[in-house]
Amino acid sequence: MLDPQARALIDLMVAKGVPPTHTLSPADARRFYRDRRAFTQPAPPPVSQVQELRAGTVPLRACRPPGVSESEVLPVLVYFHGGGWTIGDLDTHDVVCRQLAVESGCAVVSVDYRLGPEHRFPAAVDDCVAAVRWVREQAAALKVDPAKVAVGGDSAGGNLAAVVSLALRDAGDPPLAFQLLIYPATDMRAGAPSHTTNGQGYMLTRDSIAYYRGHYIADPAQWTDWRASPLLAASHAGLPPALVLTAGFDPLRDEGLQYADALSTAGVPTQYVCFERQIHGFITMGRVLDEANTALALCGSALRRALRG
């Protein structure tokens, strides 16, 4: 059964004539995504500090949880927003990042990586890798612990968090402490059964997936590059512990589970939780979907145990 609140949201969007993303230009899709957040997202929770930063050319936004001093050294989550590598920005995910800071007691640095189609694959990967390295290099100034750095993200951002974990492992960087993968895209071939069973009627559709993928990756031959499809990496051994969260009515559900299983098979401590009655994108919709707040509390608890325990 689809969550009744999710059903009501989908029905409302149909009644209001909200255009499917794949029918919009990237510029219009970005505007619709920004505008919708006022309806679906809760009020931003207070935090103790917000900073606008820049890692070279990549804009960042850092926040610290309430009740901590400016001098206290905190673990840090580097967060990559969702939006199909085409839409989304620091503002669309500001509430989620604040909620994760509150729930985890960690600093959160959100990354405004370059988007397609203006900047094709692997530009987003390069920006996200650079951002994590910059956070580590600037740890003293940021008052964060370079030995307690996690990565995380939702949807396309979950894809990027998984890819960054692989890239840093392969480059011999210091190990990350944790990866938070919220309904991640892990296989650009989009062939898992849930792409068919959940491919229409639940917000994210097969048409929208093709739209996003086409804006991100120009050459289908690149779909099997592990930097696009982390599920296809040669090895998943030696990666940071993970929480993988999926939604039951999401086209990406099965590849999220497949990635959790690949991590576990490789000996990586991995937790997997599926919110069986939810839709793709629900994590940002805490104003209208109660389970979004439950899921963020779960993510915050996992981060707190991994980074502050």
Structural domain including 273 reads 4-308
Threshold 0.85, pTM exceeds = yes
pLDDT tens digits along 251-302? 999 999 999 999 999 999 999 999 999 999 999 999 999 999 999 999 999 9
Question: pLDDT tens-digit profile of 167-208?
Answer: 999 999 999 999 999 999 999 999 999 999 999 999 999 999
Which CATH number does the domain housing residue 241 bear?
Answer: 3.40.50.1820
Q: What pLDDT digit, counting tens, does each position of 18-73 carry? A: 999 999 999 999 999 999 888 999 999 999 999 999 999 999 999 999 999 999 99
Q: How many domains does the chain have?
A: 1
**Which residues are known to be catalytic?**
155, 250, 280
The pLDDT assigned to 308 comes to 83
3-state secondary structure the chain: CCCHHHHHHHHHHHHCCCCCHHHCCHHHHHHHHHHHHHHHCCCCCCCCEEEEEEECCEEEEEEECCCCCCCCCEEEEEEECCCCCCCCCCCCCHHHHHHHHHHHCCEEEEECCCCCCCCCCCHHHHHHHHHHHHHHHCHHHHCEEEEEEEEEEECHHHHHHHHHHHHHHHHCCCCCCEEEEECCCCCCCCCCCHHHHCCCCCCCCHHHHHHHHHHHCCCHHHHHCCCCCHHHCCCCCCCCCEEEEEECCCCCHHHHHHHHHHHHHCCCCEEEEEECCCCCCHHHCCCCCHHHHHHHHHHHHHHHHHHHC
